[in-house]
Chains A and B, each alone.
Chain A
Amino acid sequence: MIIEENKIVKWSLISVSMVFLSVMLVLPLVFVVKTAFEKGLPTFWAAISDKYARAAIWLTVEVTVITVIVNTFFGIFAAWTITKYSFRGKKLLSALIDLPLTISPIIAGLIFLLTFGRQSFLYPILHDLNIKIIFAVPGIVLATVFVTFPFISREIIPVLASQGKDEEEAAALMGAKWFRIFRTVTFPHIKWAFLYGIVLCTARALGEFGAVSVLSGHLRGKTNTMPLHIELLYQGYDFTGAFAMSAILVVMAIIILILRNILEYRGKRKLSEKGAK
């Protein structure tokens, strides 16, 4: 043992962590839920079944689903490309994938605003084609996809990289085509990492505020996602409404957290089974 077991140190460290986590994380969550139900269940129900609230919930779910689907495909493509081929600019591509993690979401929003907004040279073309991106749902989806892009690919890349390409080559030599190789040989390896990536991506997509805020235009019932709706309610001093919506996000977050832990556990177990090799 590197650190000598000292009971006092050990327990004081544990208590400090516990207190810190309680104050920082648990207490606020409890407070959110408590405030949401303060005025009784009917008020809570009214707050979340209100027309705009329902629209916000629905939009959030819609955006999240699209985002996860898009990022699943691009995440897998990117991870596959980076790990299975060698080409010029591979390092650059790998670095670009991380860009959304390092850029502030507000700036991400502004980038899209500049790319597709009125100032952009693309705007007349889009306008002629009758495509609305800024202050519309496509803008929100774009922003969310951008912000959550790294989550899936970053989870898969290490697994794919450690696996090498022998199994794929063996499959190819037996006549298997790309998709079959992916489905029967590659995918089982990345399954758990992939699901884990989806969970993280979902969590982030549900809660994304900054980038979406810039691009949404805050049209009630049209382009307001849950986080934007919560802000709106809060600024209108409707605390019950704000906290009721927050409570839903909190519950979703907790469900995701549980899923995350299950996946992590299963993934680890798979890993230790493989370790038997």
Chain B
Amino acid sequence: MNAATLIKENINDVKDEDSNIYVELKNVNKNFGDFKASDNVSFKVKKGHLVGLLGPSGSGKTTILRILAGLETADSGDIFINGKRVNKISAQKRGIGFVFQNYALFRYQTVFDNVAFSLKIEKWDKKKIRERVHYLLNLVGLAGLEDRYPNQLSGGQRQRVAFARALANEPQLLLLDEPFAAIDAKVRQELRSWLRELIHNVGITSIFVTHDQDEAFEVADQIILTNHGKIEQSGSPYDIYINPQTAFTSKFIGHPTLIKNLNTLRGFGKTPDNIEAVVRPEFISVARTDEKFQYSASSDKGVVVDAYFRGAVIELHVKVGDNIFVVNRQLAEGRIDVGESVYIFISRVYLVNALKAQTYINEALKQKNEVYII
């Protein structure tokens, strides 16, 4: 292969990559007064992906969505949809489906009229509108409720109407602002998987806002993590979960606990003094002192100071030196009670400084001469 073809192929690669991107924000800033609601926000979303915009309350998730939809104008930066810069294009013309946090159904219109709204604007003929609305209401499981008004529906049903309405004129991009926030846990779970399936069936690029991690991890193809108006990290759920890159990410995702004096623990002796580190329960295994334990040579001994029965697992709080670790033990592995001595083995921690987070694997798991810092 000569140099010329190599370069050509590389160009093709780049092109391929770019044509797959449906939404891109580049250095977008938005201030409300002197408050930075969006601080140099940049990210890309692949066509057909379902993206979760995750972050604590007030971190600027809704702002990003509204800028993307054209309901808010960015102070600076570029917004691209399908390769076209849309900064100057009004909300009316962006062709985006939007599901509001409180659904914003038209209160004085029936379910039918709500769903038909965009079709009437596009001047579809009456028969086609009826067919489309019925198709959509079937899709979201609300057939037969055409003549109801929004206040005659349950929260979950309203959510579905909002969804049908947003999908009606086949937008290429769907934005959802905490679509399940107002729905009880059980129905929420149901709607989540329903939404994921539906969006993938329809094949529409979607971004949904949530501050519920479980929801983001369960539903999304890609997660964008926001904090204080900034994007902390963007990537696949797996990547975000297992490889947090920033201090915020490592402390926000999962149920982390802070570790003091990490280098007093077995397997982490080579880490510097006074470094900040966090660990999550799923990276700690626990065994009674009389049990056979795979890593007993490199585990630490501690005492159970608290135990909470959580159904499938027992949550144990184990005191080792100055630290109290939270560990989950499967119910089937047998119970351990408060006061018992146990061994714990920590497989992975995250080292944190002001800016970055770094994964550190227990030495016992490393093979000689290999660098495991990822």
Whether B151 pairs with A274 at a CB distance below 8 angstroms is: yes
Residue among B70, B71, B105, B117 making CB contact with A176, cutoff 8 Å: B117
Chain A at the B interface: mostly helix, strand, loop or mixed? helix
Whether A173 pairs with B107 at a CB distance below 8 angstroms is: no
Residues in A neighbouring B91, C-beta threshold 8 A: 169, 172-173
Residues of A that sit less than 8 Å from B by CB? 166-167, 169-177, 180, 184-185, 188-189, 273-274, 276-277
Indicate if B35 sits at the interface (CB-CB under 8 A). Answer: no
A188 and B114 CA atoms in complex are apart in Å by: 14
A175 and B69 CA atoms in complex are apart in Å by: 12
Whether A185 pairs with B106 at a CB distance below 8 angstroms is: yes
Residues in A neighbouring B70, C-beta threshold 8 A: 173
Query: Nearest chain A CB to B205's CB is how many angstroms away?
Result: 16
Query: Nearest chain A CB to B298's CB is how many angstroms away?
Result: 57
Count residues on chain B whose CB falls below 8 Å from chain A CBs. 29
Indicate if B122 sits at the interface (CB-CB under 8 A). Answer: yes
Residues in B neighbouring A188, C-beta threshold 8 A: 107-109
A177 and B93 CA atoms in complex are apart in Å by: 10
Given A170-B98, A276-B151: A176 in contact with B121 (beta carbons within 8 A): yes
Residue among B95, B104, B121, B152 making CB contact with A170, cutoff 8 Å: B104
Whether A171 pairs with B106 at a CB distance below 8 angstroms is: yes
24 A-B residue pairs with CB within 8 Å:
A167-B104, A169-B71, A169-B91, A170-B98, A170-B100, A170-B104, A171-B117, A172-B91, A172-B92, A173-B69, A173-B70, A173-B91, A173-B96, A174-B165, A174-B168, A176-B117, A184-B117, A185-B106, A188-B109, A189-B108, A276-B152, A277-B107, A277-B150, A277-B151
Q: Which residue of chain B has the shortest Cβ distance to A168 in the bound complex?
A: B104
Residues in B neighbouring A176, C-beta threshold 8 A: 92, 117, 121
A185 and B114 CA atoms in complex are apart in Å by: 10
A177 and B118 CA atoms in complex are apart in Å by: 11
Q: Which residue of chain B has the shortest Cβ distance to A191 in the bound complex?
A: B108
Residues in B neighbouring A274, C-beta threshold 8 A: 107, 151
Residue among B92, B106, B151 making CB contact with A175, cutoff 8 Å: B92
Residues in B neighbouring A184, C-beta threshold 8 A: 106, 109, 117
Whether B92 pairs with A173 at a CB distance below 8 angstroms is: yes
Whether B106 pairs with A174 at a CB distance below 8 angstroms is: no
A1 and B142 CA atoms in complex are apart in Å by: 45
Residues in B neighbouring A189, C-beta threshold 8 A: 107-108
Query: Nearest chain A CB to B173's CB is how many angstroms away?
Result: 11
Query: Nearest chain B CB to A134's CB is how many angstroms away?
Result: 45
Residue among B92, B97, B152 making CB contact with A177, cutoff 8 Å: B92
Residues in A neighbouring B169, C-beta threshold 8 A: 174-175
Residues in A neighbouring B100, C-beta threshold 8 A: 166, 169-170
Residues in B neighbouring A171, C-beta threshold 8 A: 106, 117
Q: Which residue of chain B has the shortest Cβ distance to A187 in the bound complex?
A: B108
Query: Nearest chain B CB to A174's CB is how many angstroms away?
Result: 4
Q: Which residue of chain A has the shortest Cβ distance to B118 in the bound complex?
A: A174
Indicate if B341 sits at the interface (CB-CB under 8 A). Answer: no
A175 and B121 CA atoms in complex are apart in Å by: 7
In chain B, positions 97-143 with a C-beta closer than 8 Å to chain A are 97-98, 100, 102, 104-109, 117-118, 121-122
Whether A175 pairs with B118 at a CB distance below 8 angstroms is: yes
Given A274-B151, A276-B151, A277-B151: A174 in contact with B117 (beta carbons within 8 A): yes
A189 and B109 CA atoms in complex are apart in Å by: 11
Q: Which residue of chain B has the shortest Cβ distance to A176 in the bound complex?
A: B121
Query: Nearest chain A CB to B164's CB is how many angstroms away?
Result: 12
Query: Nearest chain B CB to A162's CB is how many angstroms away?
Result: 12
* Nearest 9 CB-CB pairings of A with B: A188-B108, A166-B104, A174-B118, A170-B104, A277-B151, A276-B151, A175-B121, A173-B98, A175-B92
Whether A175 pairs with B107 at a CB distance below 8 angstroms is: no
Whether B102 pairs with A166 at a CB distance below 8 angstroms is: yes
Query: Nearest chain A CB to B72's CB is how many angstroms away?
Result: 10
Residues in A neighbouring B106, C-beta threshold 8 A: 167, 170-171, 184-185
Residues in A neighbouring B165, C-beta threshold 8 A: 170, 174
Query: Nearest chain B CB to A190's CB is how many angstroms away?
Result: 11
Whether A169 pairs with B104 at a CB distance below 8 angstroms is: yes
A267 and B102 CA atoms in complex are apart in Å by: 24
Residues in A neighbouring B69, C-beta threshold 8 A: 173
Residues in A neighbouring B121, C-beta threshold 8 A: 174-176, 180
A180 and B106 CA atoms in complex are apart in Å by: 13
Residues in A neighbouring B105, C-beta threshold 8 A: 167, 170
A171 and B106 CA atoms in complex are apart in Å by: 9
Query: Nearest chain A CB to B218's CB is how many angstroms away?
Result: 27
Known: A170-B104, A189-B108. 6 other contacts (CB 8 A): A166-B102, A173-B69, A174-B165, A185-B106, A189-B107, A277-B150
A21 and B168 CA atoms in complex are apart in Å by: 59
Query: Nearest chain B CB to A93's CB is how many angstroms away?
Result: 20
Q: Which residue of chain B has the shortest Cβ distance to A178 in the bound complex?
A: B92
